[in-house]
Structure 1
Amino acid sequence: MAAGLPLRFRPLRHGLAVLLGAMLIADQLLPPPLPGHDTGQALLIVARDGTPLRAFPDRNHVWRHPVALGDVAPAYHEALLRYEDRYFRWHPGVNPFALARAAGQWAINGRIVSGGSTITMQVARILEPTPRSLTGKGRQILRALQLEARLSKDEILTLYLNHAPMGGVLEGVEAASRAYLGKPARRLTHAEAALLVVLPQAPSLLRPDRHPAAARAARDKVLQRMRGTWREADIADALQEPAYAQALREPLLAPLLAERLKRTAAGRPRLDTTLDAQAQQTVELLLADRLGGLPARVSMAALVVDNASLEVRAYAGSADFSDAERFSHVDMVQAARSPGSTLKPFLYGLALDEGLIHSESLLADVPQSFGGYQPGNFQQSFHGPVSVSEALTKSLNVPAVEVLERLDPVRFVALLRRGGLKLEFAKGGEPNLAVILGGASTRLEQLVGAYTAFARQGLAGKPRYTPDAPVEEQRMLSAGAAFIIRDLLESGGPLGRAVESGAGIRRGIAWKTGTSFGFRDAWSVGVSDRYTIGVWVGRPDGTPNPGFFGANIAAPLLVDLFNALDAGPPAPRTPPHGVKQERICWPLGTRAAGVDDRLCHQSRLAWTLNDAAPPTFPDRLRGGEARYDIQLTPDGQLRARPDCHAGPLETRPMARWPAVLEPWLDDNLRRRALPPQWAASCAGQARPESGLKIVGASNGEILRRSAGGDAPLLHLEVRGHAVRSQTAGTGPGSEVVWLVNGRPSARQPAGKGFEQRLTEPGRYDITVLDDSGAYDRISLSVR
C-alpha cells in the first residue's frame, strides 16, 4: 500500500489496476490466432537437401514451404528489416513514430501514403485479416502487442518469413523462391532478395511471372533504399538483373512416397525424407523413358537404398503418376506380389550356412519329382549335372527345389522371417517346395531390404524413409555366406571369374532376376558397394504379360539405374574369415586333397565356408554308397568276380554319379564313371555297355486322346542285356527303374512290361535305367 500517495491519485491507481486486469483477462480469453497443428495445415515433403518433393496445401489451398531463419539468405534479412521495419528489434510491436507519420500523411493527403505497420503488425494481419480501417488498425495494434508478449523477435520474424503473401497460392519466402526462382531462399542474390521483400506489399500486382515490369520497378525501389547497407557494386549489379520468374508449378517428385508419409506427419508443416532429389528425378526419367515400349496398363516400380545407412535415395511406386490407365496411384513398392526366382540367392546362402553345400556342389538339373511336385525350368530345357554356382546364375528351378527339399521349406521361410523378409501365403497355405519358385508373396521394399545383406556382411535392413527412422537390421546370412553368394551373382564364382564371363564382373554389381507364374511380375534386384536397387514391372491388377520376364524387361532397367546412379568402380573385397577356395571333385562333391584320382571325374574350384566341404546329396533313386569297389582282371580291362573268374583280381575304387544324372553324362564321363565290361567267364552279369532300349513307342511320338476323350494307355518294354540277365536269373541287372518326368514310377523286373496312362496333355519324358548305369530315354507328347 502506497501510504504517501495523494488521495486524488488513488482512483487512477485503481483504474489502472482494473484496466490491466481486464487486459490480462481479455488476452487470455482472446489470444492471438497463432498457427496450430490442425489437419488443415499445409504440409511440405522435402528431400534430404531440402528440395521440395511434394506440397500438400492447407484447407484454403495455400502452398507454404516452412523455413527457418538460418535457411534464408542474409541479404533478404537485411533488405526486409531496412525496407519494412528498421526498428523491429527495438519496438514493442508498435512503432508510435511510424504510426504518427502515417496519420499525418493521411490527414494531409487524404489517403494512405504509408501504413506505419511494423513487421509484428503485418504478422498480426496475416494471422487474422482485418479491414483497412481505423478499427482494423486498432485490432492489429492490440494483436501485435499480444504477439510481442508471447513470442521472441526471432519467432515473430519466422512467422513472417513463412506466412507473408507472395502471390497466388504462395505464402512465405521459401515457397516464393522455389516457385518463382527455382532455388532455395538461402541462395538468393541481392536482386532476388529485394524482389521477394517488396512482393508482399501488393502480391497480385507485383507477381514477377505476370507483371515483370512492375515487379522490377518495386524491386529497384528496395535496392535504392539499401544504399549505405550494401556495397554500391552489389546494388549496381542487382539493378542490371531482370525481374524474371518461371511459371508456377506444383513440386511433384516421389508423389506416392509423399502420400504415404503424409499419414505420419502428425500435424507437422514439414517432413524431411532421406531421398536424394537428383537420384529421384533420374529414376523417374528412366522409368518414363520406357513407357513408350510397354503395353497399356503396364506399370513399373523402383527402389534405391543406400547400403551404409539403409536410407532410401529414390522411390518410384508407379511408372507415371499422371497416367491413370497405368494404375498411377497404386504403389507397387508396397504391393504384395509373387517374387519368382528372386529368393534363390537366400536359399543357397542359408544352405551354405547350414553346411549342406559349397559353391560347386553337384546338383541335378534333370526332370525329377519331389513327392509329386515336378518343377520345370523357365526355358523348358535341362542341363544335366550342374553346380550350385551354375544353378544360381542360370536360375535353374529343379536344382533349387532339390536344395530346398534338403533344407526344408518350413525352416527356409522361418529363416527368411528371422532375417526380416516375411512371405505371405494364400489363406490356409503353408510353406512347400513351390515357395522357391514364387509360391508366396512379398513386397519390393522387403525384398530390397533383404538384398542389402549381400553388401552388409549378411545383415539385412529395413529401408528408412526419414532421417529420424530407427535403424532396424537383422542377421539374414553369415558374412561368409553373403560374400560367396554375392560373388556368384556378380562373377559366377571362381570359375566365372577365370573365364571373365560373369554378368557384373567388370562393374561390381550382383543381381538376380525373377518372373512369377504366368508372366505377371518381372523382377530384378541388384547390389553394388553403394546401393541396393530393386525393380518391378507388371500390371498392378495381376493380368499376365506374355513374354515379360525379369531378364528381358526388368534387368536392363536395373543396369541403367546402376549406370546412372553408381558408375564408380567397385572396391576390392577380401573374403571374410571362414571363406576360402578349394579344389573339389565330382561326383563325390568332397575336397580333392587326398582323394584317389580315379574317384575325381571332374575337378572344380569352389568357395567353401567354415572348412566344410559337404558331399553330394544322397542318391534319390538308388541306395548304397557313392563310393564303392569293383574287381578287375590284372590288365584292368575287364570286370570279374572271384565266383566266376579263376585267377588273380585287383580292386579298383569307383565313384557313382546320382542315378538321375547317369543318362546325362557325356561319353568321356561315362567311361570313367561306369565299370568296364565283364570278362567272358562272367558273361551272366549285367553289361552296361550294351545299353538298354525302350520299345513300344518312338522318341518324339505324339499320342492323341480317343474320340471319347479317354487318355492313351502307354505300354512299353525294355530290351538289352539286363533283360537277358533276368532270364538267366543272374546279376544285379535283373531289375530296372522307370521314371516319368523324373518321378520314379516303377521298379520291376526288366522283362516285365511297363504301363502308364497319360491322363494330362503335354510332354512326357520316359526314362529307364538299371543299377549298372545303362539307360534309355524317350519323349512323348499327348494332345
Structure 2
Amino acid sequence: MTRWIFTLALALWAGAIARDAANDWIDATVLPTLVSEVSTEVRDRHGHLLRAYTVADGRWRLPVTLGEVDPTYLRMLIRYEDKRFADHHGVDPLAMVRAAWQAAWHGGVVSGGSTLTMQVSRLLEDGSTGRWAGKLRQIRVALALERRLTKDEILTLYLNHAPFGGNIEGVRAASYAYFDRPPRRLTPAQAALLVALPQSPETRRPDRAASQAAAARDMVLRRLTDADVIDAAAQEAAVRHPVTAMRHVLPAFAPHLADRAINAAPDQNRHDLTIDRPLQIGLERLAADAVRGRSDGMQVAIMVADHQTGHVLGHVGSARYRADMRGGFIDLTQAVRSPGSTLKPLVYGLGFDQGLIHPETMIADRPTDFEGYAPQNFDGLYRGELRVRLALQHSLNIPAVAVTKALGPHHLLAGLRRAGAEPTLPGGAPGLAVALGGVGLRLEDLVRLYGAIGNGGMAIDLRWRDAPTDDFQPRRVIQPAAAWHIADILRDVPRPTGVQGTGIAFKTGTSYGHRDAWAIGFDGRHVVGVWMGRPDGTPVPGAFGGDLSAPVMFAAFARAASEVTPIASPPPETLLLPNAQLPQHLQRFGSDPALQAHRPEIAFPPDGAIMTPGPMVVKVRDGRAPYVWLANGQPVARTHRPQVDIGDLGPGFSQLTVIDADGRSDQARIEIQ
C-alpha cells in the first residue's frame, strides 16, 4: 500500500511540475503584434461608409466590431469552424484527435483541428499550417492569446484578418467587395459563402470561381442545417441564390471631400463627415447626368448644405473622379472663378441696409458711363425706370453698378469677407466691375454667402465635420430685414422652362465669355450651389447659368428634401410699403426732391396710342437734355432736342422710353396697325 501511495504522490508531483512548466512556457510566449494597419475610412453623418483607402501593401482591411456583423453569420462561423470555441482554452483536444483519426483512416486530411484562436495566431504571424514547427507555434500563441484576451477580442481579430481572396482581408471588406453591402445586412446565402471562403480563399473566389464558391457555400449550408443552425426552408432558399461572378468596387463617394479630410488629419484612421450618403449618391448621379453626352469638356460641381447648422450634406467636386479630359480629379468646389451676376443680391442687400434703396424704389436702367466704365446689360437692352425688385429679378447690370458706386466697392468685398468668403482681386484694388463678377470666388464661397442670406443675414459656419470650426466668428453680413427682402425678391425669379421650384429663392450667373455658369439658391433650411464650365477656364459658347446650372440646382433641391422648407416670415422691422408710401428719398434712387418736379414726360405719342405705320416723330417735355430714346429696350436716338424722328418701328406693340441726363424716365406703350 505504501508503494502505491508513493507512486501516486510521485505522479502528482511530476504532473504539477509539468503543469508549471507548461504554464511558464505559455506565459513566456512573445505574442505577435495584435494591432495591424487598417484601411482609413471616411463615413457619413450616420456612420455609413463613404470611402475607404487600402493599407500600405495594397490590401483592403476595413476594421469591424462584433456589433457591426450579422449575428447569423457569427453563429454560422462558430458552429462550422469551432463549435467548442466558448469552452476551450485555445486548443480543442477533441477536434485534434478527430482530425488525426480521420486523416489516418482516409489516408489524407479530411477536416482540420485548428480552433478559431489557432487560426488567429496563424493570421497574425502569417504562419505555415503544414509544418510541425508552424503548428506548434500556432498552439503556443493560441494558448497565450486565450490567457490575455477575451473570447470576443479573439473573434474580432479573426473577423478583421481572415483572408477572402486577392487583396481582401476581413469580413467587412469582403462583404462590400462581393455583395456591396455592410456585413450587418448579410443574407443566409451570403453569410454561408463568407464562412466558406477563408478555408481556400483563392480557389473559391466568387469573382473568379463562381461554381467552386457556390459548391463550398452549399456544403456549409448543409452542415449548418444538420446542426440546426438554420432550418431546411432557409437552406433551400439560400442554395437557390446564384453566386455572381463579379467583385464590386468598394464605396468611393464624396471622393474629393474625403481626400480633403484625410489631408487635414492624416493620422486619423476614421473620419466622420456631415455628408448624408443617400443624398450624396443622388447628387453624384445627377452630376454625371448633367454632363453625359457633351463633347465640349463641360464639368459640374455641386454643394448642398443646411444653413441652419452649417453642415455640408452633399459635395460633388466633379462629375467623375478620374483622370480624364474633364479634369475629374480637380475639386471644382474650390476652383477660383468669376461669379458673374451672383453677387447682385449682396449689392442690393447692402443697399437696403444703408438706406439707399428699398425693393419698391424706382431705379434707372439706361446707358451710363461710370467715369469711364460703361457696362451693358447681358441682352443689350435697357428698361428705363423700374423697381429695384424687378432690376434684381431680371439681373440688370446698370442698376447694380449704380448701387455699388453709391456703396463703394470695398463695402461689397467687406460683406463677402463677413460671410466667410475669400475673394481674390485680379487687379488689386476693387472697382465697380466687382458687382458684375470682376472678382475671384469659389463655389464654397457663394454657398457661404447665400447660406448667410437664408440664415437671416448671419454668417454660417459652413463645415463638413460636426464639431464647430475653431476660428469661426459669427458675423452679421446684412440685417434681418434686408435678408428677408432679398429672399422675397429671389423667390419670384422666373424659373427655367419646365421647372417649378416654388418657394426657392435663387439667382443665376454667367461670367464673361461664357466661362462659368452658376445657380445658387436657398429655402428655409437648405442652400444649394451649382457651377458648370470647363476645368481649364476656357469659354463654352452658349453656356448660361439659367439654362445649364439652374435645372441641376432645382434637381438637387428635390433630392435634398421631399418638401421645400418655407422661408421665415418678415422680421418686425421690415418696411412693407408700396413706392408711393415710401419716404421721399426711397421713392427714386439717386434723386432729390427738386429734380422730381421736372421729370421728363413723353408728350407724343401718348400712352395707349394706336399709330399708323411709317416714320415716327417722338416728343418729350421737361427733363434735362440730353435725352436717350429706347424702343423695346434698345437705344434708337440720343438728342439734345425735345423731339426726334426714330424711324419706322414696324407693326405690333412697342414700348417707348425716354431717359434724361439725370436718369429720370417716362414710358409709353403704343400699337402700330
CA spacing shift, 1:502–1:326, aligned 2, 3 Å: closer
One-letter amino acid of the structure 2 residue matched with residue 590 of structure 1:
L
Q: Which residue of 2 aligns with 1:651?
A: none
Q: What's the offset of the Cα at 1:64? A: 2.9
Moved more, 386-395 or 145-154: 145-154
- Deviation track 1:404-456 (CA, whole Å, cap 9, x = no partner) reads 22222222212221221221223x60233221111111111221132122332
Q: Which residue of 2 aligns with 1:196?
A: 194
Q: Which residue of 2 aligns with 1:764?
A: none
Equivalent-residue separation in structure 2 for 1:412 and 1:57 (angstroms): 46
One-letter amino acid of the structure 2 residue matched with residue 488 of structure 1:
I
Secondary structure of 1:582's partner? Answer: coil
Equivalent-residue separation in structure 1 for 2:401 and 2:475 (angstroms): 26
Q: Which residue of 2 aligns with 1:299?
A: 299
CA spacing shift, 1:211–1:546, aligned 2, 3 Å: closer
Matched, 1:74 2:71: yes
Which residue of the other structure, out of 213, 216, 224, is the alignment partner of 1:215? 213
Q: Which residue of 1 aligns with 2:166?
A: 168
CA spacing shift, 1:434–1:491, aligned 2, 3 Å: same
Confirm or deny: 8 A CA contact 2:42 2:272 kept in the other structure: yes
Equivalent-residue separation in structure 1 for 2:101 and 2:428 (angstroms): 85
Matched, 1:90 2:57: no
Q: TM-score scaled to structure 1, two decimals?
A: 0.70
Q: Which residue of 1 aligns with 2:534?
A: 539
Secondary structure of 2:340's partner? Answer: coil
Equivalent-residue separation in structure 2 for 1:476 and 1:436 (angstroms): 16
Equivalent-residue separation in structure 1 for 2:186 and 2:255 (angstroms): 27
One-letter amino acid of the structure 1 residue matched with residue 300 of structure 2:
M
1:332-481, aligned counterparts within 5 Å?
332-426=332-426, 429-468=428-467, 470=469, 474-481=475-482
Number of residues of Structure 1 aligned to a counterpart in Structure 2? 622
One-letter amino acid of the structure 2 residue matched with residue 306 of structure 1:
D
Secondary structure of 2:577's partner? Answer: strand
Equivalent-residue separation in structure 2 for 1:772 and 1:121 (angstroms): 90
CA spacing shift, 1:466–1:225, aligned 2, 3 Å: farther
Equivalent-residue separation in structure 2 for 1:614 and 1:693 (angstroms): 25
Q: Which residue of 2 aligns with 1:124?
A: 121
- Deviation track 1:78-125 (CA, whole Å, cap 9, x = no partner) reads 111111122323333333443344344445555333332222222222
Confirm or deny: 8 A CA contact 1:448 1:533 kept in the other structure: yes
Gaps of 5+ in 2: 1-8, 608-619, 628-633, 644-657, 667-673
1:258-277, aligned counterparts within 5 Å?
258-264=258-264, 266-277=266-277
Q: Which residue of 1 aligns with 2:316?
A: 316
1:350-749, aligned counterparts within 5 Å?
350-426=350-426, 429-468=428-467, 470=469, 474-491=475-492, 507-571=502-566, 573-585=568-580, 590-591=582-583, 614=586, 616-619=588-591, 625-627=592-594, 655=597, 657=599, 662=600, 688=621
1:112-261, aligned counterparts within 5 Å?
112-132=109-129, 133-227=131-225, 229-230=228-229, 232-245=231-244, 247-250=246-249, 251-261=251-261
CA spacing shift, 1:312–1:720, aligned 2, 3 Å: closer
CA spacing shift, 1:578–1:151, aligned 2, 3 Å: farther
Q: What's the offset of the Cα at 1:346? A: 1.8
Equivalent-residue separation in structure 1 for 2:219 and 2:396 (angstroms): 75
Equivalent-residue separation in structure 2 for 1:120 and 1:579 (angstroms): 72
Secondary structure of 2:484's partner? Answer: helix
One-letter amino acid of the structure 1 residue matched with residue 504 of structure 2:
I
- Deviation track 1:699-736 (CA, whole Å, cap 9, x = no partner) reads 9999xxxxxxxxxxxxx995679xxxxxxxxxxxxxxx
Equivalent-residue separation in structure 1 for 2:532 and 2:445 (angstroms): 16
Gaps of 5+ in 1: 1-5, 596-612, 620-624, 629-653, 670-686, 703-715, 722-766, 776-783
Equivalent-residue separation in structure 2 for 1:182 and 1:451 (angstroms): 37
Confirm or deny: 8 A CA contact 1:688 1:772 kept in the other structure: no
Structure showing greater Rg: 1
Moved more, 445-454 or 516-525: 445-454
One-letter amino acid of the structure 2 residue matched with residue 475 of structure 1:
R
Equivalent-residue separation in structure 1 for 2:169 and 2:325 (angstroms): 34
One-letter amino acid of the structure 1 residue matched with residue 291 of structure 2:
L
Equivalent-residue separation in structure 2 for 1:138 and 1:511 (angstroms): 72
Confirm or deny: 8 A CA contact 2:490 2:505 kept in the other structure: yes
Q: What's the offset of the Cα at 1:393? A: 1.0
CA spacing shift, 1:394–1:503, aligned 2, 3 Å: farther
Equivalent-residue separation in structure 1 for 2:586 and 2:161 (angstroms): 70
Moved more, 295-304 or 245-254: 245-254
Secondary structure of 1:454's partner? Answer: helix
Equivalent-residue separation in structure 2 for 1:92 and 1:265 (angstroms): 41
Confirm or deny: 8 A CA contact 2:213 2:243 kept in the other structure: no
Q: Which residue of 1 aligns with 2:655?
A: none
One-letter amino acid of the structure 1 residue matched with residue 95 of structure 2:
A
Equivalent-residue separation in structure 2 for 1:395 and 1:486 (angstroms): 15
Confirm or deny: 8 A CA contact 1:64 1:172 kept in the other structure: yes
Confirm or deny: 8 A CA contact 1:320 1:328 kept in the other structure: yes
Which residue of the other structure, out of 41, 45, 48, is the alignment partner of 2:42? 45
Structure having greater relative contact order (Cα 8 Å, sep ≥ 6): 2
CA spacing shift, 1:222–1:276, aligned 2, 3 Å: same
Equivalent-residue separation in structure 1 for 2:279 and 2:458 (angstroms): 25
Equivalent-residue separation in structure 2 for 1:208 and 1:503 (angstroms): 47
| Paired-residue identity, % | 40
CA spacing shift, 1:768–1:458, aligned 2, 3 Å: closer
Q: What's the offset of the Cα at 1:345? A: 1.2
Equivalent-residue separation in structure 2 for 1:398 and 1:770 (angstroms): 15
- Deviation track 1:631-654 (CA, whole Å, cap 9, x = no partner) reads xxxxxxxxxxxxxxxxxxxxxxx6
- Deviation track 1:623-671 (CA, whole Å, cap 9, x = no partner) reads xx4247xxxxxxxxxxxxxxxxxxxxxxxxx6455xxxx58999779xx
Q: What's the offset of the Cα at 1:397? A: 1.4
